Amino acid sequence: MDLALLGQRLRHQRRAKGMTLDDLSALVGRAPSQLSLIENGKREPKLSLLQSMATALEVPLQDLLRAEAPTRRAALEIELAHFQESSVYGALGLPTVRAGRRLPADALESLIGLHRELSRVLTEQSATPEVARRANASLRTEMRSRDNYFASVEKAAFDVLQSVRHSTGPLSQRGILDIAGQIGFTLHWVSDLPNSTRSVTDLRNRRIYLPQVASGKGHDPRAVVLQTLGHFVLGHNDPVDWGDFLRQRVEANYFAAALLMPEKFAVEFLREAKADRALAIDDFRDAFGVSYETAAHRFTNLATHHFGIPVHFTRVHESGIVYKAYENDNVRFPADVTGAIEGQPICRRWASRTVFQSEDPYSSFYQFTDTTAGTYWCTVHVESTRSGEFSVTVGTPYEHARWFRGGDTTRRTVSRCPDPACCRRPPSSLVDTWEGHAWPSARVHSHLLAALPPGTFPGVDAQDVYEFLQRRSPSSAS
């Protein structure tokens, strides 16, 4: 629901009837201040209240929920409100302009024109990887709308487990081999898999080639097998664009987690932990023998759908750059003009970054953070990889912290981002000392400048894959 649009339609209908807020308040039994918040797009009303207001205004409920603004002036005011809610505008540190009656029409037109031009310029500046970033932002919006719970994928995973008679607990290696056989594939672990791939499937000979992974690499090799099988169980075809490619990857990853941590047993485990006010990603991980990140992802699949706990998740490099992120708890991640979060620097006051300054970053780490969107509690785990250290964070609004182990932590920070004065501007003492006396040589990653990689599967060298399959094909061996 577009709250700004709904508010404009309510105000238009009220004024058309010659009513004041006090008049409407008397008819619906709500304080004028509450109705004012709704008309200003600051509060989402319940459906019962909307129906009461429609009755009081003598209009069909559908009229209040129509998708177009009641007047051109209202449409401009709504557009201005949306522009000013964006992270791009917030980063400028400028005050919010109220588009009320006192704002002249020409001033409103000028503000909208400036915002449109700013949006156009920023969009042009980010044109190289723009398609992928927009597709990823769109996918994240869909995931948020369904609380990151994919019922169809859960059903597919359940049916697969039923087909191999898996009836309890975590999925074993034997179970994975049975699943592969049930789908009609054999698994082969090789040492010469192309560098650009996680697995390669020979559809002609029904073989799946997987990397020989030594222990201690920090990830679960079972997940790669199940992700690959997921593409076939879920009926994926060759991706037609970035959006299709990213959606398939999310669904395959979800499918793998749903097999490694079956919904029935995972929900039972979490329900008992919640009853004890001892929810912990560490315990969830250990109970099913998976990686911490897999457990964190799986928790986001189930926490809101089954327990009504809104959450956010991040994977952040020690440099402060976001690699992965998801939220349905209204936490405000940094984002570019396309809505992309990945690649953005996260606030230095957030637990995802303060964990790296703690005395023991590898122990359990909990923190409350006061932000412009409210107070959030987070639990963080640090893992070491070949690309450096990463923090994996699961967070939730303050009122839900009571269900988690560590919800009584006294560690607390304050974040004012996107206000640049929070952490993006150096302290004035450092600026006074070093401004004009520093010349850093930036490290530029070539992939940031590259266009969409050629081929059906982005980033994969088709020649390497075909040569690999030619070497490994049973017909070639004979």
Domain ranges of the chain: 3-85, 148-260+459-478, 265-418
Tell me whether the CATH fold assigned to 3-85 matches the one assigned to 148-260+459-478. Answer: no
Q: Per-residue pLDDT tens for 305-352? A: 999 999 999 999 998 999 999 999 999 998 877 778 888 899 999 999
Q: In the chain, what percentage of residues exceed pLDDT 70? A: 91
Distances (CA, A) of 351 to 169, 223, 356, 368, 470: 32, 28, 9, 8, 49
What count of residues does the chain have?
Answer: 478
**The CATH number of 148-260+459-478 is which of 3.40.50, 3.40.1440, 1.10.10, 1.10.600?**
1.10.10
The winner for highest mean pLDDT among 290-294, 394-398, 419-423, 467-471 is 394-398
**The CATH number of 265-418 is which of 2.60.310, 3.30.450, 3.40.50, 1.10.3470?**
3.30.450
Asked whether residue 128 carries a pLDDT value surpassing 70, the answer given is no
User: What local confidence, expressed as pLDDT, does residue 350 receive?
Assistant: 96
What phi, psi does 346 have (nearest 5°)? -90, 155
Question: What is the H or E stretch that residue 188 is in?
Answer: strand 186-190
37 is written with which tokens? Answer: 């918040």
User: What local confidence, expressed as pLDDT, does residue 399 receive?
Assistant: 96
Q: For residues 376 and 369, is the Cβ–Cβ distance under 8 A?
A: yes
If DSSP codes are grouped into helix, strand and coil, which group holds residue 278? Answer: coil
Q: Per-residue pLDDT tens for 155-171? A: 999 999 988 888 777 77
Q: For residues 172 and 375, is the Cβ–Cβ distance under 8 A?
A: no
Average pLDDT value for residue range 121-136:
67
Q: Per-residue pLDDT tens for 395-439? A: 999 999 999 999 999 999 999 998 888 887 877 887 788 777 777
Distances (CA, A) of 21 to 41, 417, 471: 15, 35, 77
Average pLDDT value for residue range 283-296:
93
pTM: predicted TM-score of the whole model, two decimal places: 0.68
Topology of the domain comprising 3-85:
434 Repressor (Amino-terminal Domain) (1.10.260)
Position 96, amino acid: T
Mean pLDDT of the chain: 86
**What count of other Cβ atoms lies within 10 Å of the Cβ of residue 175?**
19
Give CA–CA dist 83/435, Å, rounded: 33
Short-list 320, 315, 389, 328, CA closest to 348: 320
Distances (CA, A) of 132 to 20, 240, 459: 48, 13, 12
- What are the residues facing 396 on neighbouring strands? 377
- Going edge to edge, which strands form the sheet with 207-211? 186-190, 207-211, 200-202
User: What local confidence, expressed as pLDDT, does residue 215 receive?
Assistant: 41
What phi, psi does 31 have (nearest 5°)? -65, 145
Q: Per-residue pLDDT tens for 378-398? A: 999 999 888 889 999 999 999
Asked whether residue 127 carries a pLDDT value surpassing 70, the answer given is no
Short-list 252, 233, 124, 123, CA closest to 185: 233
Question: What is the H or E stretch that residue 208 is in?
Answer: strand 207-211
Give CA–CA dist 192/190, Å, rounded: 6
Say how many Å lie between the first and final Cα of the chain, rounded.
63
